[in-house]
C-alpha cells in the first residue's frame, strides 16, 4: 500500500485487532462502510512502516491500548496524527520528534500517558497544533520545546499533573493563538514571555497555583477573545488596560484574590461572559453594569459590592444569567429586571456560555446550587438555560409580580434578603423553572396554590418567612417537598408539617398565641452569613 496517503479509522464500532495480514480487508471495509469500523489492540505502527507516503493517520475514539510505539525508521511524510481518546499508557516516546519530524498536527489527548513531556517535540519544526491534554503527565514544560516549537499555534496541555513555572525566559512560541494549561499544578506568576504572543486569542490557565498580580501587558494582546483563569491565587486589581481588549468575549477570573474596584470602562462591546465571583471586588453595582449587547452571563457573586440593581439592567438584551449573590446590594428589585428579553421570550439563538475560541472542545460548566444540592449543566444545554441569583444581599420591598413572566428561567434564588409582601401568583407562569428559593425573607400571606402547576420544579423552599395558611395540596411536584421546605413559618399548616389546619384553612397556632414572641427575629442571624446561591465557577456555597 505504498501509495496510501490518508487513512481515517476514527469513531467506529467494529471490534477486533488490526494486523498487517488484514491490511487489504481493512481498506476494503473502510471503502465499503466507514461508519462501522473500530480499531482495538495495540498501536499498528506497521501502518507507518509499510506506507511511507502516508500523510494523515486518524485513529481517534477507538479502543487502542498498550504503549505507543514508533516506526523502525523516520517517517518523512506523516503530517497529521490523531490517536486521541484511546487507552494508550506509558511514556510518550522520547524520540518522537526524531521519528516524526514533519508532523504539523499531533493529538495524543485523552489517553493514560505518564512521565514527562519529551523535549524532542522541538525537532518538529512545522508542528502547528499539539494536544496532549487529559493524560497523567508530570514534570515541567521542557525549555527546548518552548524555544524549538516556534511554529506552534495551538498548545493544549490541560488536565495533567504538570508543575513548576509555566515558561522560562527562553521562549520562542510567539505564533501561539491558543494556550491551554488549565487543570495542572503550575505555580508562580504568569510569565512575561507571553507578552510576545500578539496573535494569542485564547488563554486558559484555570485550576493551577498561580500567584502574583494580573499582568497589565495582557491588555496589549489585542487579539484576545478568552481569558479564563479561575481557581488560582491571583491578586491585585483588574488592569485598566483590559479596556483595550475590543475582541474580548469571555473574562473569567473567579475564585482568586482580586481586589479594588472594576475599571469603569470594562465593558467591551463584544463581551459575552463576565465571571468575577469569589474575589474581593468593591464598588457600586451601578457603576459596573453598562450597556452590553452580547452579554450572556454576569457573575459578580461573593464580593463586596454595594449599591442597588440599576434600572438600566434591561439594556442587556442577551443576558441569561445574572448572579449577584453574597454582596451588600440594597434597595428594591427593579421592575426592569423583568424585561430581560432572553429570559422572558425564550429566543433559541441565545449564545451558549462556552469559550468561542477554544478549538479543543473545551466547555464552561454552570453550577446551580440551592439547599446544599448542586446541579451541573454543560455545553449545548446551556442555550436553553437561564438563572437569576440575588441571594444573601440586603434587598427590600416586594417581589415584582412581573418576574412571573420570565418564562424561560430555570433557577431563581431570592433567599436571605429582607423582601416583604406576598409570593406573586404569577410565578405559576414559570413553566420551565427547576429551582425556586425564597427562604429567609419577610414574606407573608399564603403560598399560592397555583404553583402546583409547575411540573418541572425540583427544588422549592420558602423556609423562614412569615407565611401562613394551608400548604398547597401535595400533587405533582409538591408531593416531593418535605418539611424543611416550609420550616420557620409558625403559621403554616397542613401536611408535611405536623400542624393541622382548622376548618378555615388556618393553623391551629394563632397569631395571638404567638404575641409573646413577636419581638423575636424569625430569621436566625447566622443564616444570613452562609446562604445558598447559584454559581458558575464550580464553587460550593
pTM, entire model: 0.84
Share of the chain above pLDDT 90, in %: 60
- Cα–Cα distance between 7 and 62 in angstroms, integer? 14
What lies within 8 Å, CB to CB, of 60 at 6+ separation is 10, 11, 82, 83, 84, 85, 86, 107
Q: What is the pLDDT of residue 536?
A: 35
Instruction: Answer with the residue of higher pLDDT: 487 or 369.
Output: 487
- Cα–Cα distance between 166 and 175 in angstroms, integer? 17
What does the domain layout of the chain look like in residue ranges?
Answer: 1-131, 272-541
Please give the backbone phi and psi of residue 97, each rounded to the nearest 5 degrees, phi first.
Answer: -70, -30
Instruction: Answer with the residue of higher pLDDT: 485 or 24.
Output: 485
Number of H helices, E strands in the chain: 5, 37
Residue 198 C-alpha cell reads as 500578539
Q: What is the pLDDT of residue 508?
A: 63
- Please give, one letter per residue, the 3-state secondary structure of 18-56: CCHHHHHHHHHHHHHCHHHCCCEEECCCHHHHHCCCCCE
Tell me if the domain spanning 1-131 has CATH number 3.80.10.10: yes
pLDDT tens, position by position, 4-43: 556 666 665 434 444 443 333 333 333 333 223 345 556 6
The sign of the CA dihedral 374, 395, 289, 334 is positive
Residue 393 C-alpha cell reads as 444581599
pLDDT surpasses 50 at 252: yes
Confidence of residue 52 (pLDDT cuts 50, 70, 90): confident
User: Which residues is 389 bridged to in the sheet?
Assistant: 323, 413
Q: What is the pLDDT of residue 529?
A: 32
In the predicted model, what is the mean pLDDT of residues 241-258? Answer: 93
**153 touches 128 (CB < 8 A):** yes
Confidence of residue 57 (pLDDT cuts 50, 70, 90): confident
Instruction: Answer with the residue of higher pLDDT: 377 or 331.
Output: 331
Please give the backbone phi and psi of residue 195, each rounded to the nearest 5 degrees, phi first.
Answer: -65, -15
Cβ neighbours, 10 Å, residue 170: 10
What lies within 8 Å, CB to CB, of 171 at 6+ separation is 146, 147, 191, 193, 194, 196
pLDDT tens, position by position, 75-117: 888 999 999 999 999 999 999 999 999 999 999 999 999 999 9
Question: Average pLDDT of the chain?
Answer: 82
Q: What is the pLDDT of residue 367?
A: 54
CA 301 to chain CA centroid, Å, is: 15
Q: What is the pLDDT of residue 355?
A: 35
pLDDT surpasses 90 at 130: yes
Q: What is the pLDDT of residue 221?
A: 96
pLDDT surpasses 80 at 231: yes
Q: Which of 368, 541, 533 lies closest to 440, judged by CA?
A: 533
DSSP string, 224-235: --EEE--SS--E
pLDDT tens, position by position, 175-209: 999 999 999 999 999 999 999 999 999 999 999 99
Residue 314 C-alpha cell reads as 434591561
Instruction: Answer with the residue of higher pLDDT: 139 or 372.
Output: 139
- Cα–Cα distance between 524 and 511 in angstroms, integer? 20
Please give the backbone phi and psi of residue 136, each rounded to the nearest 5 degrees, phi first.
Answer: -125, 35
**95 touches 71 (CB < 8 A):** no
- Cα–Cα distance between 224 and 176 in angstroms, integer? 11
Q: What is the CATH number of domain 272-541?
A: 3.80.10.10
Range from 340-344, 351-355, 414-418, 436-440 carrying the lowest mean pLDDT: 351-355
Q: What is the pLDDT of residue 267?
A: 67
pLDDT tens, position by position, 325-352: 999 999 999 999 988 877 776 543 433 3
Please give the backbone phi and psi of residue 305, each rounded to the nearest 5 degrees, phi first.
Answer: -80, 150
pLDDT tens, position by position, 502-540: 877 676 655 444 444 444 444 333 333 333 333 334 343
Instruction: Answer with the residue of higher pLDDT: 508 or 372.
Output: 508
**26 touches 1 (CB < 8 A):** no
pLDDT tens, position by position, 285-318: 988 887 788 899 899 999 999 999 999 898 888 8
Q: Please report, for residues 325, 327, 330, the alpha-carbon distance to residue 303 in angstroms, rounded to integers and kept in the order given.
A: 8, 6, 14
Amino acid at each position: 500500500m505504498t501509495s496510501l496517503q490518508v487513512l481515517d479509522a476514527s469513531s467506529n464500532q467494529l471490534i477486533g485487532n488490526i494486523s498487517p495480514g488484514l491490511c487489504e480487508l481493512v481498506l476494503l471495509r473502510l471503502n465499503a462502510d466507514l461508519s462501522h469500523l473500530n480499531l482495538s489492540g495495540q498501536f499498528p505502527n506497521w501502518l507507518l512502516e509499510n506506507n511511507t507516503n502516508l500523510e494523515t493517520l486518524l485513529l481517534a475514539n477507538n479502543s487502542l491500548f498498550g504503549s505507543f510505539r514508533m516506526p523502525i525508521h523516520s517517517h518523512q511524510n506523516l503530517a497529521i496524527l490523531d490517536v486521541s481518546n484511546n487507552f494508550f499508557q506509558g511514556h510518550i516516546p522520547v524520540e518522537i520528534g526524531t521519528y516524526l519530524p514533519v508532523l504539523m498536527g499531533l493529538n495524543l489527548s485523552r489517553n493514560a500517558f505518564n512521565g514527562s513531556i519529551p523535549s524532542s517535540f522541538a525537532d518538529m519544526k512545522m508542528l502547528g497544533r499539539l494536544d496532549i491534554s487529559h493524560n497523567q503527565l508530570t514534570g515541567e514544560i521542557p525549555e527546548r520545546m518552548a524555544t524549538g516549537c516556534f511554529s506552534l499555534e495551538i498548545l493544549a496541555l490541560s488536565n495533567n499533573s504538570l508543575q513548576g513555572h509555566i515558561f522560562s525566559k527562553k521562549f520562542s512560541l510567539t505564533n501561539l493563538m491558543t494556550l491551554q494549561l488549565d487543570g495542572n499544578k503550575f505555580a508562580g506568576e504568569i510569565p512575561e514571555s507571553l507578552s510576545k504572543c500578539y496573535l494569542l486569542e485564547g488563554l486558559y490557565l484555570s485550576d493551577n497555583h498561580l500567584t502574583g498580580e494580573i499582568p497589565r501587558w495582557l491588555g496589549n494582546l489585542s487579539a484576545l477573545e478568552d481569558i479564563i483563569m479561575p481557581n488560582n491565587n491571583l491578586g491585585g486589581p483588574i488592569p485598566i488596560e483590559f479596556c483595550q481588549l475590543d475582541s474580548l468575549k469571555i473574562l473569567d477570573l473567579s475564585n482568586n484574590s482580586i481586589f479594588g474596584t472594576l475599571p469603569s470602562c470594562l465593558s467591551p462591546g463584544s463581551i459575552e461572559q463576565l465571571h468575577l465571583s469569589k474575589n474581593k471586588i468593591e464598588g457600586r453595582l451601578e457603576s459596573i453594569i453598562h450597556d452590553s449587547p452580547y452579554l450572556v452571563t454576569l457573575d459578580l457573586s461573593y464580593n463586596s459590592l454595594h449599591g442597588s440593581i440599576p434600572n438600566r439592567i434591561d439594556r442587556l438584551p442577551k443576558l441569561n444569567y445574572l448572579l449577584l449573590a453574597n454582596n451588600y446590594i440594597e434597595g428594591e428589585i427593579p421592575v426592569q429586571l423583568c424585561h430581560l428579553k432572553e429570559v422572558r421570550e425564550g429566543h433559541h439563538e441565545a449564545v451558549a456560555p462556552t469559550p468561542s475560541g477554544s478549538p479543543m472542545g473545551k466547555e464552561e460548566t454552570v453550577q446551580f446550587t440551592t439547599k446544599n444540592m448542586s446541579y451541573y449543566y454543560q455545553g449545548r444545554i446551556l442555550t436553553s438555560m437561564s438563572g437569576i441569583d440575588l441571594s444573601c444581599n440586603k434587598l427590600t420591598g416586594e417581589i415584582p409580580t412581573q418576574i412571573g413572566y420570565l418564562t424561560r428561567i430555570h433557577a431563581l434564588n431570592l433567599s436571605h434578603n429582607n423582601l416583604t409582601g406576598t409570593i406573586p401568583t404569577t410565578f405559576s407562569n414559570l413553566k420551565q423553572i427547576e429551582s425556586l428559593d425564597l427562604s429567609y425573607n419577610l414574606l407573608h400571606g399564603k403560598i399560592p396554590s397555583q404553583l402546583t402547576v409547575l411540573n418541572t420544579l425540583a427544588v422549592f423552599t420558602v423556609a423562614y418567612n412569615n407565611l401562613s395558611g394551608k400548604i398547597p395540596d401535595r400533587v405533582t411536584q409538591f408531593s416531593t417537598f418535605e418539611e424543611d421546605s416550609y420550616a420557620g413559618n409558625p403559621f403554616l399548616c397542613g401536611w408535611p408539617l405536623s400542624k393541622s389546619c382548622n376548618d378555615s384553612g388556618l393553623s391551629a397556632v394563632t397569631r395571638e398565641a404567638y404575641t409573646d414572641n413577636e419581638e423575636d427575629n424569625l430569621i436566625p442571624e447566622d443564616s444570613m452569613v452562609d446562604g445558598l446561591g447559584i454559581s458558575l465557577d464550580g464553587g460550593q456555597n
